[in-house]
Structure 1
Amino acid sequence: MSQLEQDLRYLGVLEKARQITAELGPEAAIRYIRHAYRLLSKVYHPDLHQENRRAAEEGQRRLNALKQRLDATSDEELGSFLQTSARSRAGRPRVLIVEDEICLADNLGDLLIMEGHQVATAPDGLAGLRLHMSFRPELVISDILMPIMDGVEMVRALRQRDPEIKVIFISGFFGTHSIQNSLMQELVRFGYPRLAKPFRPSQLLELVRRELGG
């Protein structure tokens, strides 16, 4: 693993930068990366963490060292790395996660990335519809109850684009009356698998492999 890749992983931006590169090009991804450093440097400012000042100072020290390396890396070098990195992932199965619990979406994304998938995330059904156009996932993992547009509405719209779309529904409310009324017809008619929260990572991975034919 190169030092640049280590730095981007430390910033927590590598996978998103790869996605942005594939969708919008390296210039947009470079802006995202450099903005992420500025934001984190404010988050770790020691004056904001008197009770955890030592940890904040260590974080700030690592960020300062990272900034020196990034400043020494030209946009051309960074763009070339991102394009190469994005191409190296081009043949991997694409999974779209639509989930309004950001921490859960990130955790599921990390899990699937470790399994070798390309991953994109969206916080609601409408955002999922928009991202589907550019990302073109082979599988959608979607929550049910979300703001703006719920998962059932989103999947109905997705079927108009792709009648054979593969979907795994996840929710903590499968036993409720409203979920049963809106979802059970979809499950019966189209055979969509479902997982009740909380679930074990192995349960999700088993369903993903089954749906993708792995």
Structure 2
Amino acid sequence: MSKEGNILEQQSYLQSELLHFGLLEKAREILADLGEKAALSYIKFSYHLLSKVYHPDLNRDNSLRANREMKRLNRLIDLISRLDNAEIVEAIRSGMIITTDSRRRILVVEDEPDLLELYHGVLETEGYRVFSASDGEEGLTVFRLFHPELVFTDVLMPKLNGIEMVQIIRSEKPYTKIIYLTGFLGMEGLRLKLNDEVKRHQYRLLSKPFKISEMLSEIETYLSGASSDSQFVKGLRSMGM
């Protein structure tokens, strides 16, 4: 990858992580009102505040989540230290996709951090431009910023589940392609809603666990417009639909 391409990747990742920690929109407000220096100070100061919020010693009842967030926060500050101020400011300012980037855009929404990291890494390696979110509310925010053509989302998630998120996305961008990911759904009402979603709107569904090769094949055929519903049917059958 060229140096310029690497910088764009880093800026994209920076945007995604600032969104995750709830810093991006406020940084943009400060940038518009007070200028670059103030926005940079806000980002760097916020790291020190959040490092106290997520410190495992202060979250003994939820140490696993705290450790994960702390590691993610440390990766963020490491990236910030490697970018110069102009590159950070550009990442804050740029709310839309980079028009010169011709890669297919995919949003992955998954509340399991390890799975989110796996899906993101695999799809990025395959040449897609990938954005990620850890729940439905964050997914909706990222979608509105980057307008991906495919949303690859879990169903059961906190704050806003996958079906609720997709219903909002469909009202705004009705031709967005959707692949639902699901394991066991204990609630009959949710199974019926998912059944209606995939049948009425011809969305795809992958039933966990699935092979990465199956995931990649499904995404490729779906984005190309080819007719391939093997995993779609498999997913429905595995849920008794």
TM-score (norm 2): 0.58
CA distance in 2, matches of 1:166, 1:19: 21
Distance 1:170 1:5, change over 3 A: same
Determine the structure 1 residue equivalent to 2:199. 188
- SS of equivalent residue, structure 2 residue 179: strand
Distance 1:74 1:15, change over 3 A: closer
CA distance in 2, matches of 1:186, 1:176: 16
1:134 matches 2:145: yes
Distance 1:167 1:182, change over 3 A: same
CA distance in 2, matches of 1:93, 1:132: 14
Contact 1:98 1:122 in 2 (8 A): yes
Superposition RMSD in Å: 4.3
Contact 1:102 1:123 in 2 (8 A): yes
Contact 2:14 2:91 in 1 (8 A): no
Q: How many angstroms does 1:127 deviate by?
A: 1.6
- SS of equivalent residue, structure 1 residue 182: helix
CA deviation profile, 1:141-176 (whole Å, cap 9, x unmatched) = 010111111111111111111111100000112586
Q: How many angstroms does 1:199 deviate by?
A: 1.1
Contact 1:18 1:29 in 2 (8 A): no
User: Which residue of 30, 51, 75 maps to 2:85?
Assistant: 75
Q: How many angstroms does 1:121 deviate by?
A: 1.0
CA distance in 2, matches of 1:193, 1:81: 33
Unaligned stretches of 5+ in structure 2?
A: 19-23, 29-35, 56-74, 226-241
Q: How many angstroms does 1:16 deviate by?
A: 1.1
CA distance in 2, matches of 1:140, 1:167: 5
Determine the structure 2 residue equivalent to 1:151. 162
CA distance in 2, matches of 1:158, 1:213: 21
Distance 1:172 1:87, change over 3 A: same
Distance 1:79 1:127, change over 3 A: closer
CA distance in 1, matches of 2:40, 2:129: 16
Q: How many angstroms does 1:107 deviate by?
A: 0.7
Corresponding residue pairs, total: 179
Q: How many angstroms does 1:118 deviate by?
A: 1.0
Q: How many angstroms does 1:130 deviate by?
A: 1.5
CA distance in 1, matches of 2:217, 2:15: 26
Distance 1:87 1:132, change over 3 A: closer
